[in-house]
Amino acid sequence: MNSTLSRLFRKKTIEQIQNDAAAGFSEAHSSGLRKELNSLDLTAFGIAAIIGAGIFSTIGNAAFAGGPAVVFLFIFTAIACGFSALCYAEFSSRIPVAGSAYTYAYASFGELIAWIIGWDLLMEYAIGNIAVAISWSNYFTGLMAGYGWHIPKFLTMDYVSASTAFTQVTGFLAQGLTLAQIQANPEWAGYIRGYLAWSEAPGFLGTRLVCDIPAFAITVFTSGLVFFGIRESKRTSNFLVALKILVILFVITLGAFYVDPKNWSPFAPNGISGVMKGVSGVFFAYIGFDAISTTAEECRNPQRDLPRGMIASLIICTILYVLVALVLTGMLSYTKLKVGDPLAFVFGPEGVNLPWVSGVVAISAVIAMTTVLLVFQVGQPRIWMAMSRDGLLPPIFSAIHPKFQTPWFSTMLAGFLVAVPTQFLNLTEVTDLTSIGTLFAFVLVSGGVLFLDREKGPANGKFRIPYVNGKWIVPGILLLLASSILWLNPEGVRNFFVIDSSFSHKIPLWCFLLFSSFVAIASFVKNLSLIPVLGLLCCSYLMTELGITNWIRFGVWLMIGLGLYFVYGSRHSRLGLRAEASGELVTPNI
């Protein structure tokens, strides 16, 4: 039993990780990655990934649910991500190699947990990229329509959505309803576009030709940039990021002249619960700094530049999100902001009626979504590359192109796994998996720093999280929060302990309460470092806000990953083969 556990939780030392990365550990590695990135480039990468759908789309729904107080949701999410960003920064300074949370987990928790987080990151990036590509297609189609070029509807959406919509609308028509009546119903209006797309689509071999050409094209374009080199990717990213920041600053400045302070009252119309309803969409906007850490081997000075890039991008984006939220809710009542394009909406006929600004916003939205997709397409292949070098994936995943010095096979595969599903799947119901997967990564990275802090010896890097003893602070914070909730919402607390039909949805929060109690005790007994513990608790709590359904889907995905690990990864692990040859196993110091 102990031998089996030792094999599952064998871990690499920091020196082994750095040596393995330098050696390549693959015959397919003909050369190393090109070192092109500095702190400015990394900051731009972070902004490129963070400023996207969140600021051009989901901020509207979040404002509708939380009112002007949605700014506190952005601040809270930024703080939670900030704790994790500091943990990422310390890891990236100590272990400046590709792989992100996967590599960090290998050093702190061992191989099995590293595989789990690596498998989790594959889901996070793949589903996130598919959602971004589909969203980009919607923005681009609307932009072209605004200029009078109407792309046929059957070429702008996925097959399943069109088929489902056609079936629904056909049923409504059979009941005697008209298309106008269906369009007038907010719950059904979204089916009209799919119905028309299916109706207009040409037939082929007994089916309809329906596909999302813009989503496919932008995925191929960004994957091509990533394939041909990090230098081309960073230049494109830097240019587009500068452009969209200028547009956002322009919108904030212009919108400030149309702010009516009366729209900020009531400031929190739906209380804390209303503010927290938007946590999934808002957090999805903040996960970009995770992708920065995957470029460690392409940085000129990773120990210095990676921490700077992560922290700077998070601070800049938080300021922009808060300013945009204040301007939006000040220009127009929060009750009118439940729209897919809130920035364009407030400058349209329902708002201050400046149509030309809406056009500028639409162009900026397309640019913003392009940069998000570009950075995520950079991140995913490098995680595969790191896993392959450790033997957990086949060697071809770590093959480096001799001319372009990029992981060519992983990049092509990542593009394929994003481009093809956009043509057949509507993944709006599972985009929350991206958030829960990222939060899981943040939890492990925060916890991993606690393990590293207990190792002897100074840090290898130039950045280390300041140590603040959490012995009394962590239990004190949790007791204060519990007392405040009991005082402010005693009825909600009583309902929480009632076992009824909704009990299954309370399970994640029950798990968090048990986990936070354990963390409080461990902080008191072990004098744990405060900042990693706060990152651990904040991200764990945010996971509870994503619902039991997403937890089940996430669990199923992890079980599939475990199956693959025992079939292939555990048998080909280079660390395991070395350990067996030497008769030694390295396990976490738990």
Read off the CATH number of the domain in which 51 is found.
Answer: 1.20.1740.10
The pLDDT of residue 417 is 86
Do residues 264 and 328 share a domain? yes
The pLDDT of residue 20 is 67
Last residue of some domain: 191, 210, 229?
Answer: 210
The pLDDT of residue 521 is 92
Tokens of 522: 């461990």
Tokens of 239: 């240019």
Last residue of some domain: 422, 443, 464?
Answer: 443
Tokens of 572: 């080909």
User: How far is Cα 36 from Cα 230, in angstroms, rounded to an integer?
Assistant: 7
Do residues 131 and 183 share a domain? no
Q: Report the 3 state secondary structure along 481-503.
A: HHHHHHHHCHHHHHHHCCCCCCH
**With contact defined as beta carbons under 8 Å apart, do 88 and 379 qualify?**
no
**Closest C-alpha among 520, 554, 328 to residue 435:** 554
189 located within any domain: yes
Alpha carbon distances (Å) from 314 to 43, 278, 505 = 9, 19, 31
Quickly tell me which residue has 């067996």 as its tokens. Answer: 580
Counting beta carbons within 10 angstroms of the beta carbon of residue 90, is it exposed (0 to 12), middle (13 to 18) or buried (19 or more)? buried
Q: Which neighbouring-strand residues pair with 29?
A: 400
The pLDDT of residue 428 is 55
**Closest C-alpha among 540, 518, 530 to residue 477:** 530
For the chain, which residues score pLDDT lower than 70? 1-8, 18, 20-33, 53-54, 57, 186-187, 189, 278-281, 283-285, 287, 339-340, 426-433, 453-462, 492-493, 496-505, 576-590
Do residues 237 and 380 share a domain? yes
202 located within any domain: yes
Do residues 233 and 350 share a domain? yes
Do residues 418 and 552 share a domain? no
- Reported as type and span, the H/E element at residue 172 is helix 159-174
Do residues 267 and 164 share a domain? no
Do residues 175 and 279 share a domain? no
**Closest C-alpha among 36, 82, 536 to residue 317:** 82
- DSSP secondary structure code for residue 261 in this structure: G
250 located within any domain: yes
3 located within any domain: no
75 located within any domain: yes
Vertex 286 angle, CA 280 and 289, to 5°: 145
Do residues 35 and 143 share a domain? yes
Tokens of 179: 């298309």
- Reported residue count of the chain is 590
Counting beta carbons within 10 angstroms of the beta carbon of residue 213, is it exposed (0 to 12), middle (13 to 18) or buried (19 or more)? middle
The total domain count for the chain is 3
297 located within any domain: yes
Do residues 423 and 481 share a domain? no
**Closest C-alpha among 231, 161, 244, 224 to residue 197:** 161
What phi-psi label fits residue 547: left (phi over 0), alpha (psi between -120 and 50 degrees) or beta?
left
Do residues 248 and 339 share a domain? yes
**Closest C-alpha among 286, 311, 283, 374 to residue 92:** 311
Q: Which neighbouring-strand residues pair with 208?
A: 203
User: How far is Cα 286 from Cα 49, in angstroms, rounded to an integer?
Assistant: 8
Phi (first) and psi of residue 99, to 5 degrees: 125, -20
Last residue of some domain: 421, 443, 465?
Answer: 443
Gyration radius of the chain over CA positions: 24
The DSSP bridge pattern shows strands 203-204 and 207-208 to be: antiparallel
User: How far is Cα 526 from Cα 454, in angstroms, rounded to an integer?
Assistant: 10
**With contact defined as beta carbons under 8 Å apart, do 138 and 452 qualify?**
no
Counting beta carbons within 10 angstroms of the beta carbon of residue 332, is it exposed (0 to 12), middle (13 to 18) or buried (19 or more)? buried
- DSSP secondary structure code for residue 204 in this structure: E
Do residues 412 and 533 share a domain? no
Do residues 273 and 350 share a domain? yes
Helix/strand/coil for 590: coil
464 located within any domain: no
User: How far is Cα 290 from Cα 429, in angstroms, rounded to an integer?
Assistant: 23
589 located within any domain: no
Tokens of 468: 């603040």
**With contact defined as beta carbons under 8 Å apart, do 64 and 434 qualify?**
no
Tokens of 434: 């991206």
Domain range for 185: 159-210
**With contact defined as beta carbons under 8 Å apart, do 157 and 197 qualify?**
yes
